[in-house]
């Protein structure tokens, strides 16, 4: 979680990602951010997020992203 929050912080230093619940709907993360984020996650966590998993629900909050990473790691 710490690592993930660190990555997110780099993207938008002015946002407190631990509190945000709807990162996509509120327009905090756009498509460019998402791809940067995925690249970072792939490097850091050694998972690969496929294109079909890029849906708003999976990126709505830091928790959701973490859940996605864990699920992919699991499979």
Partner 1 sequence: MSFTSASFLLFAVLTLLLYYTLPKRWQWILLLGASYVFYFFAGAEYLLFILFTTAVTYLCGHLMQKRADAEDAFVEANRETLSKAERKEFRAAEKKKRFRILLMGLLLGFGVLAVVKYTSFVLSGISSIGQAFGAAPLRIPELLLPLGISFYTFQSMGYLIDVYRKTARAEKNPLRLALFVSYFPQLIQGPISRFGDLAPQLFSEHRFDGFRFRAGLGRVAWGYFKKLIVADTAMIAVKALVENKDGGFTGVYVLLLILLYSAQIYGDFTGGIDITIGFSELLGIRLAENFDRPFSSRSTKEYWRRWHITMGTWFTDYVFYPLSVTKSMQRFSKWSREKLGTAVGKRLPVYFATVTTWFLTGLWHGAGWNFIVWGLLNCLVILVSQELQPLYDRFNRHFPRLTASRAWGAWQALRTFLLMGLIRSLDCYRNVPTTFRMWASMLTDWNIGELFLGGLTSFGLSVSDWCVLLGGILLLALGSRLGKKRPVREWLAERPILLCAALCLLAVAILLFGAYGIGYDASQFIYNQF
Q: Over the Cα atoms of the chain, what is R_g?
A: 11
How many contiguous H segments (helices) and E segments (strands) does the chain have? Answer: 3, 0
Which of 58/61 has CB closer to partner 1?
58
Which of 19/31 has CB closer to partner 1?
31
In the complex, the smallest distance separating the C-beta of residue 21 from partner 1, rounded to whole angstroms, is 20
Footprint of partner 1 (CB under 8 A): 14, 27, 30-32, 34-36, 38-40, 42-43, 48-52, 54, 75
Q: Could you give phi then psi for residue 39, rounded to 5 degrees?
A: -60, -45
């Amino acid at each position: 979680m710490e690592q993930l929050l660190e990555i997110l912080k780099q993207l938008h230093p002015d946002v407190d990602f631990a509190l945000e619940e709807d990162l996509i709907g509120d327009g905090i993360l756009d498509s460019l951010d998402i791809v940067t984020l995925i690249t970072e996650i792939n490097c850091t966590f050694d998972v690969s997020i496929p294109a079909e998993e890029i849906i708003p629900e999976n990126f709505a909050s830091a928790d959701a992203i973490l859940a996605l990473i864990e699920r992919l790691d699991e499979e």
